A and B are shown apart, each in its own frame.
Chain A
Amino acid sequence: MWQVVGHEWAVELLERSLANGRTAHAYLLLGLPQIGKTTLALNFAQALNCLGEEKPCGQCRSCLKIAHGNHPDVRVIEAVNGTIKIDQMRAVQREVALSPHEGRWKVYIIRQMERATTEAANCLLKTLEEPPTQVILMLTAGEIDQLLPTIISRCQVLNLRPLPISLVREALEERWEIDPEQARLLARLSGGRLGWAVRASEEAAILQKRERCLNEMIELMGQGRVERLRYAQRLSRHPDSLREVLDLWLSWWRDLLLVKGGSSTEVTNVDREATLRSQAQSYSLTQVRDFVKALRAAVWQLDHNANTRLALEVLMLSLPAPST
């Protein structure tokens, strides 16, 4: 049984290609982090090497070995210290030439291909174009832009899109047995990334942190410049969690945008809908839009190595105060 939730079209495509004996030699799985790329790749590796009847059975020796990460023919290559290096790729090239040890297929799963150095990526090109028989390469990456076009055109590209929120919710309720209200919130917050939702359900700290950040932001809206600058300073001391905070703010202000625009789309921060609605009263649509833009500009600046504190200070000052 396929373990993957959602992505039916991708699963179906892989399943059928397997059934028809038309598997490609290289796949590229694209999508947001924690959306299920590696899960799908491992699942496909199981299906390729499964000994059971209904592939992947998840029961046979081969499937279990792959699930536990000790199948000799299924390799997962990951970034070491942030990058995938040319030596790792050379090792793949060497190994690829050997025939499988016990399975039918050698499957190489290269995670986060965008982290490969230019040399490493180019090094893989020839192998990727015409690998030996019985070898399948599965690459995963977040953004197609960050890959060499020559890599992309050699693979069958499966662009995994965020799951429908309702599906994440169902999966959470049924498979992970999370209570409905919590599942609804997690599903919304996950933005269609099941992996994130599951992790958030296991680590209470994630939700607690969100709660704290939101409260701080709402409090900050009514405060003057001194508090705002102080907050900017505090945030800038934790550059690692900065992106998370800004994403959260962005989700909040996008919600406001939706509410203000009169859209009936369900908001992301469902648990705070009442607050959102009351806040929407005290802002104009242009104000909300401008601040969303300011937020995005700040994210862009931080991505491009701007002075963290300065960028945050500017952002904090542009946070509109609610009109009463």
Chain B
Amino acid sequence: MTAQALYRRWRSRTFEEVLGQEHVTRTLRNALLSGRVAHAYLFAGPRGTGKTTVARLLAKAVNCLSEEGEKPCNQCPICQAINEGRLLDLIEIDAASNRGIDEIRDLREKVGFRPSEARYKVYIIDESHMLTNEAFNALLKTLEEPPPHVIFVLATTEPHKIPATILSRCQRFDFRRASLGDLRRKLNRICESEGIVIEEAALELIIRSAAGSFRDAESLLDQLASYGDDEITLAQVQAVLGTVSAQAIEKLVGHLVNKDVAGGLDLINQVIGDGVDPRQFNRELVEYLRGLLLIKTGNRASLLNVTAEALAEMEDQARQLSTRALLRTVRLFNQASFDLKASLQPQLPLELAFIEATLGEDSVAEEEPVSEAPQKAGQETPSAPSPSVTAPTVLRESRAVEGTRAAQAVAADASPSPPSAEDTLTEGETLPASGVTLERVRLNWARILAEIRPHNRSAEALLRSGRAEAVEGNVVVLGFPYAFHKERVEEPKCQALVEQVFSRVLGNPCRIRCILVSKNNSKSTRQPKARRPEPVKVKKERADGESQEDKYRAIAEDPVVRAAVDKYGAQVVDVQ
């Protein structure tokens, strides 16, 4: 004979025994006392919080025969029949396997019959979110006005899947996750009655890993109790859950503080090799780091459930890490928890996060070459604003782009004569540093567009259609092929923004003036360079005898280059 699982044997038998759902039980008991029981209920809530249990309790209570005292009495024949699962008038339907319209039609036919022995027929429709749409609709009329002797209870973990027409016909009760205290009380009660001896720390760990579900906690306790030893120890719970000792975590953070890559990698591999579950490991590591963060931000130990000794060690480590580094580390390992899939190298995300964390802030710059370039450019203009303006663009970059960026970097490295990107950039930019010149405007065109974009997208789009035609003193002349575009840019609000950005990017106060250029005209300016067949040759010829500046101007006007600058935010780095 199999022993019944603890969670089945210890289903609450009275409303008092139901823990953590007072808001539900109190309402139901009052309804019972005043005789105002509704004809349809919906119980919603996470798994293992007591939905089915309360539904059965309700069935018992409405049918209980006892004259006085609180119902259910658990003494009368009806209560006992329900407890043993043999009352004909309690109909528990598993909606997940009887989900079609036919089953519901069948139910509707039988609803009309009087109960056989109890006062009410109670239909418990469990997992009701799995009913098909048609089935729900077939149920609507019955649910709205059932015969007086029928009570419906719908239970579900996913109330959002229940149609609104069903919801509005039911009294809805939301079950909450059990608190740690409630879980502890319940487990203590079970342990006492079952004669299970358990270490305090082991109990604590079970409760914490149950995530607010009674059934999870009870299942785990059950599993450990079946070891059959005298006492359930912390080590046993750790073995089953695959958790790690607190010392290992502390040691790993120690390696992190000391930036000891080798030591950290060794430790991670050793711990995983010992059979620790990488997820558990990561979860506890994040928990620990969160503790450090709390200490760092001045929260007192009351929030942390640790011994004084461990606390001293944590405080020491917290001192050695900056808040910023700590935040970054927490984020890295938190991210790792999403990546921890069962794979051939389960520890890889942990290793990566660890290396990343030890590499520190310096590596951030390397990671984001795109943000680096504008920063460099910004340095030479004294009144340059904070480079954070580029941040939104960087954030928007998708993961896929990261790959391409790396690819670009590689491509740049691999090119035959590699003048590093930064060198030429600063060289090129220092030349015309004073005053506003046409080619400075054109060189910085992409940056200007990028800076306008966050403020006003349509302004950016408008500017894209135009181009800088000339510079007169500190007035930039912008040419537009269409009057509409020109007028829009000339609107005071737009013009003010554009001028502001121009001034900021170029480092000199600028104004703008818009002119209309005929399409032919603008074409003709582009035409010489648009000779597709031999653009390379054109560039070469021009480049031969001319100064660096001219080369830049020439290249910036090349239609292909211009397209690259405008559309992809490229920058002219070098002309060969």
Q: Are A292 and B265 in contact (CB under 8 A)?
A: no
What residue in chain B is nearest A31 (Cβ atoms)? B342
Question: Which A-chain residue is minimally distant from B366 (CB atoms)?
Answer: A286
B270 neighbours in A (Cβ, 8 Å): 265
Give the docked Cα–Cα distance between A26 and B218 (Å): 14
Give the interface segment out of A67-75, A212-220, A250-258.
A250-258
Q: Is the CB of A191 within 8 A of B47?
A: no
Q: What is the chain A residue whose CB lies nearest that of B241?
A: A159
A230 within 8 A of B: no
| Smallest CB gap from B236: residue in A | A9
Contact with A along B406-434 (1 / 0, CB 8 A): 11001101100000000000000000000
Does A13 contact B342, Cβ atoms closer than 8 Å? no
Complex contact B273–A164 (CB within 8 A): yes
A306 contacts the other chain (Cβ, under 8 Å)? yes
Per-residue contact bits, chain A 132-152, to B (CB 8 Å; 1 contact, 0 not): 011010000011010001100
Question: What's the nearest-Cβ distance from chain B to residue A287, in Å?
Answer: 10
Chain A residues within an 8 Å CB radius of B406: 290, 294, 317-318
Q: CB-CB < 8 A to A251: which residues of B? A: 344-345
Q: Is the CB of A250 within 8 A of B410?
A: no
What separation, in Å, do the CA atoms of A147 and B265 have in the docked complex? 31
Contact: A286 with B345, CB < 8 Å?
no
Report B213-231 residues with CB < 8 Å from chain A CB: 213, 215-216, 219, 222-223, 225-228
Instruction: Give the CA-CA distance A286 to B332 in the complex, in Å.
Output: 16
- A250–B352 contact, CB under 8 A? no
In the complex, chain A residues whose CB is within 8 Å of the CB of B276: 161
B344 touches A191 (CB 8 A): yes
Contact in complex: B262, A93 (CB < 8 Å): no
Interface presence of A59 (CB below 8 A): no
User: Does A314 lie within 8 Å of B228, measured CB to CB?
Assistant: no
Is A225 interfacial (CB-CB < 8 Å)?
Answer: yes
B341 touches A143 (CB 8 A): yes
A58 CB, min distance to chain B CBs, angstroms: 23
**Contact in complex: A264, B262 (CB < 8 Å):** yes
Decide: A317 and B96 in contact? CB cutoff 8 A: no
Residues of A221-268 at the interface with B, using a CB-CB cut-off of 8 Å, are: 224-225, 247, 250-251, 254, 257-258, 261-265, 268
Report if B399 contacts A (CB, 8 A): yes
Annotate B308-343 by CB proximity to A: 1 below 8 A, 0 otherwise.
000000000000000000000000000000010111
Given contacts A263-B262, A263-B265, A314-B404, contact A150 B344 (CB under 8 A): no
Instruction: Please provide the chain A residues from 281 to 319 with a CB less than 8 Å away from any CB of chain B in the complex.
Output: 285-286, 289-290, 292-294, 296-298, 300-301, 306, 311, 314-315, 317-319
The answer on a CB contact under 8 Å between B366 and A16 is no
Report whether A314 and B242 are in contact in the complex, using a CB–CB cutoff of 8 Å.
Answer: no
A293 and B406 CA atoms in complex are apart in Å by: 11
Interface pair A122/B262, CB less than 8 Å apart? no
Residue pair B414, A224 in contact (C-beta under 8 Å): yes
Q: Is B94 touching A125 in the complex (CB atoms < 8 A)?
A: yes
Contact yes or no, B130 A20, CB < 8 A: no
CB pair B262 A286 closer than 8 Å: no
Residue A19 at the chain B interface, CB threshold 8 Å: yes
Is B269's CB under 8 angstroms from A265's CB?
yes
Given A9-B240, A318-B410 in contact, is the A261-B355 Cβ separation under 8 Å?
yes
Q: How far is the CA of A89 from the CA of B94 in the complex (A)?
A: 13
Q: Taking the complex as formed, is A21 at the interface, i.e. its CB lies under 8 A from any CB of chain B?
A: yes
- Contact between chains at B359 and A261 (CB < 8 Å): no
Interface residues of B in 120-177 (CB under 8 A from A): 126-127, 130, 157
Contact assessment for A254 and B273 in the assembled complex, using a CB-CB cutoff below 8 Å? no
Tell me the smallest distance from the CB of A36 to a CB of chain B, in Å.
13
The answer to whether B261 and A261 touch across the interface, beta carbons within 8 angstroms, is yes
State whether B355 touches A285 (Cβ < 8 A).
Answer: yes
A window 18-54: CB within 8 A of B: 19-25, 31-32
B462 within 8 A of A: no
A126 to B85, CA, bound (A): 14
From B48, B226, B367, residue with most partner A Cβ within 10 Å: B226
| Contact of B99 (CB < 8 Å), options: A119, A136, A165, A257 | A119
The answer to whether B352 touches A153 (Cβ under 8 A) is no
Check A161–B97 contact: CB distance below 8 A: no
- Return the CB mask of B262-279 against A: 1 if under 8 Å, else 0: 101110011001111100
A130, B228: Cα distance in complex, Å: 23
Could you tell me the distance in whole angstroms from the C-beta of B329 to the nearest C-beta in chain A? 16
Cβ of A79 within 8 Å of any chain B Cβ, yes or no, is: no
A23-B226, A149-B157, A247-B344 in contact; A125/B359 too (CB < 8 A)?
A: no
Q: Is B356 at the interface (CB under 8 A from chain A)?
A: yes
Q: Tell me whether A254 and B403 are in contact in the complex, defined as CB-CB below 8 angstroms, given that A13-B223, A261-B262 are known contacts.
A: no
Smallest CB–CB gap between A235 and chain B, Å? 16
Q: Are B359 and A286 in contact (CB under 8 A)?
A: yes
Indicate if B402 sits at the interface (CB-CB under 8 A).
Answer: yes
Q: How far is the CA of A224 from the CA of B416 in the complex (A)?
A: 11
B303 at interface, CB cutoff 8 A: no
Complex CA–CA separation, A268 to B351 (angstroms):
15
In the bound complex, what is the Cα–Cα distance between A264 and B403 (angstroms)?
30
Q: Which residues of B contact A156 (CB under 8 A)?
A: 219, 222-223
B34 interfacial contact with A, CB 8 Å: no
**Once the chains are docked, how many angstroms separate the CA of A23 from the CA of B48?**
21
Interface presence of A56 (CB below 8 A): no
Chain B 68-105, CB-CB to A under 8 Å as 1, else 0, gives 00000000000000000000000000101101000000
Verify if A123 is at the interface (C-beta below 8 Å from B). Answer: yes
CA distance A46 to B348 in the complex (A): 37
Asked whether B342 lies within 8 Å of A153 as measured between CB atoms, the reply is no
Nearest residue (CB) in A for B92 is: A126
Known: A297-B400, A301-B400, A317-B411. A24 touches B223 (CB 8 A): yes
Assuming the contacts A261-B262, A315-B403, asked whether A254 and B359 have C-beta atoms less than 8 A apart, the reply is no
Contact A318 B399 (CB under 8 A): no
Query: A100 interface residue, CB < 8 Å from B?
Result: no
| In the assembled complex, B569 has its CB within 8 A of some CB on chain A | no
CA distance in complex: A225, B410 (Å): 10
Q: Is B33 an interface residue (CB 8 A)?
A: no
Q: Which residues of B contact A268 (CB under 8 A)?
A: 345
Q: Is A65 an interface residue (CB 8 A)?
A: no
Q: B residues within 8 A CB of A311?
A: 400
In this assembly, does A320 line the interface, its C-beta being within 8 Å of a C-beta of chain B?
A: yes
Q: Which of B1-9, B370-378, B513-521 lies at the interface with chain A?
A: B1-9
A25 touches B96 (CB 8 A): no
Contact of A297 among B341, B363, B399, B410 (CB under 8 A): B399
Q: What residues on B are CB-neighbors of A165 within 8 Å?
A: 273
Whether A262 pairs with B127 at a CB distance below 8 angstroms is no
Residue of B nearest to A21 (CB): B3
Give me 7 A-to-B residue pairs in the complex whose CB atoms sit less than 8 angstroms apart, sorted by A's number. A17-B228, A225-B414, A247-B344, A265-B270, A286-B363, A293-B352, A321-B413
Q: B-contacting residues of A (Cβ < 8 Å)? A: 9, 12-13, 16-17, 19-25, 31-32, 86, 89-90, 93, 119, 122-127, 129-130, 133-134, 136, 142-143, 145, 149-150, 153-159, 161-162, 164-165, 191, 224-225, 247, 250-251, 254, 257-258, 261-265, 268, 285-286, 289-290, 292-294, 296-298, 300-301, 306, 311, 314-315, 317-321
B residues near A (Cβ < 8 Å) are 1-3, 5, 8, 46-48, 94, 96-97, 99, 126-127, 130, 157, 213, 215-216, 219, 222-223, 225-228, 239-242, 261-262, 264-266, 269-270, 273-277, 339, 341-346, 348, 351-352, 355-356, 359, 363, 366-367, 399-400, 402-404, 406-407, 410-411, 413-414
3 closest A-B pairs (Cβ-Cβ)? A122-B96, A262-B262, A17-B226
Known: A265-B269, A301-B399, A314-B404. 16 other contacts (CB 8 A): A13-B223, A13-B226, A20-B226, A32-B343, A124-B96, A125-B96, A162-B346, A247-B343, A247-B344, A258-B351, A263-B261, A285-B355, A289-B356, A292-B348, A318-B406, A318-B410
